[in-house]
Amino acid sequence: MSEARINRISNEKGDGGPSLSGITTFSGLNYFVPPKGTTAERPSDCPPGSIRFNTDSAHLEYWDGLQWLEFEATNEELGNQLVTNSAGGTGHRGVIVGGREAAPAFSSLIEYITISTLGNAQDFGNLTRQVGRGGALSSSTRGVFIGGQQPSPVYSAEIDYITLSSTGNAIDFGVNLPTALHSPFTCSNSTRGVVAGGLEPGNYLTAIEYITIASTGTISDFGNISTGRTRGTACSSSVRGVFAGGEITPTPSNVTNIVEYITISSTGNSQDFGDLSLERRYLTSVSSSTRGVFAGGFKPTPGEIDIIDYITIATTGNAQDFGDIISAKQDLKGIGSPVRGVFCAGFDSPAISGSMEYITIATTGDSIDFGDCTARDETNDGCSNGHGGL
């Protein structure tokens, strides 16, 4: 058998080379370098299966014939066993982002915990902006942060993302929401993120839109929720997204106990699920693949709320009593694994809270102290690589 060794093949200008077809293999002891470029330099006339390195996101991506998608490399067992704080051990990772640390200042801070451990949150990086009361959703590899309230302009249409397994600053997602808003409902399965409702200047929204989490640069219409609604919460299984509670008119006292659901992989309007045990806004939620749990919130009378209730996501019906959080709070945010839900930060009138507490999702009972994050109210949101939609 003969063998040819060629260091380089190119055209006469040195700016191209031959296409290889058939069964073609190559090997090397070190590495190979694929084509690279920025997001703006992505070609759109290449054949499906083309591979490049995106220098903006620092990830490999491939062309599926319609859009560029990132290669996903997942590892649920994140953590550092050499430390004893909440980043120690191994397990699913949760992140807490943004918020208002002290009025009128908003934060760009991103912190993280290993959900299976206990301890204080650790620094992850920063968002591209200072923001509170936005939305967050995630796949097993990527966290996405949507819209929010900020110093100027007051409402945001921007979308950021991070790679959950690393640490570092967020990157612009490449497309904005159709309208600037804050306090939407957000949920996801492993591939699709859904954004519903929210508040834009003078208008409570009904629109539902979705993104493909692994790609950047596209957002599409999904349908509508039953009424203009904001300041509630959402959770998911791999099949369903559930929107619960919130505010339904520009009158802050008009809070609701509505629970609705969608099928995430399809499109269409939401359908009635049942009711929460109490009308409230600024509650939070966590979920496993089977159960959604809702905690805290605010109702003008009595004020901050300590209630935890739950639903079985695959069925419909009213929420049932689960237990209580340690102290009545609003604006807290939930992050979860298949086993544990953690409720973070929030506002316990008149104090801004940095406490975190946890529950075991499959049981019932009161929450237990987890540790602390940076104290802030109007927390932007939180997400994880192990929630019920994955």
**pLDDT 10s digits, 165-215:** 889 999 999 899 999 999 999 999 999 999 999 999 889 999 999 999 998
Determine the Cα–Cα distance for residues 230 and 219; give it in Å rounded to an integer.
20
Q: Is residue 139 part of a domain?
A: yes
**Position 143 in a domain:** yes
Rounded to whole angstroms, what are the CA distances from 192 to 67, 218, 281, 325? 15, 12, 25, 31
Q: Quick check: is 166 in a domain?
A: yes
Coil vs helix vs strand at 130: coil
Alpha helices in 143-219 (DSSP H): none
Could you count the other beta carbons within 10 Å of the beta carbon of residue 339?
A: 16
Q: Which residue has the tokens 């009128």?
A: 104
pLDDT tens for each residue of 270-316? 999 999 999 999 999 999 999 999 999 999 988 999 999 999 999 99
Is pLDDT of 72 > 70?
no
Q: Judge if 54 and 104 occupy the same domain.
A: no
Which residue(s) pair with 375 in the sheet?
none
DSSP 3-state assignment of 159?
strand
- Does 124 lie in the same domain as 55? no
Taking the C-alpha atoms of residue 26 and residue 364, their distance in angstroms, rounded to an integer, is 56
pLDDT at 19: 67
| Domain membership flag for residue 129 | yes
* Separation between Cα atoms, residue 72 and residue 254, nearest integer Å: 43
Does some domain include residue 25? no
pLDDT score of 84 more than 60: no
Residue 158 sits in the same domain as residue 118: yes
Query: 181 pairs with which residues across the strands?
Result: 156
Q: Distance between CA atoms of 142 and 103, rounded to whole angstroms?
A: 30
CATH of the domain at 313: 2.120.10.80
What Cα–Cα distance (Å) separates residue 29 from each residue in 3, 9, 26, 32?
18, 20, 11, 9
- Please tell me whether residues 100 and 66 are part of one structural domain: no
CA–CA distance, 110 with 39 (Å, rounded to integer): 24
Main-chain dihedrals φ then ψ at residue 356, nearest 5 degrees = -125, 145
Instruction: Answer yes or no: do 65 and 102 share one domain.
Output: no
pLDDT tens by residue, 125-143: 999 999 999 999 999 999 9
Burial label for 2, CB within 10 Å (0-12, 13-18, 19+), is exposed
- The sign of the CA dihedral 248, 253, 257, 263 is positive
Identify the residue whose tokens are 């330099």.
Answer: 41
Q: Are residues 175 and 219 in the same domain?
A: yes
In terms of domains, do 62 and 137 share one? no
Structural domains in the chain (count): 2
Look up the domain containing 42 and give its range: 36-70
Q: What is the DSSP letter of 215?
A: S
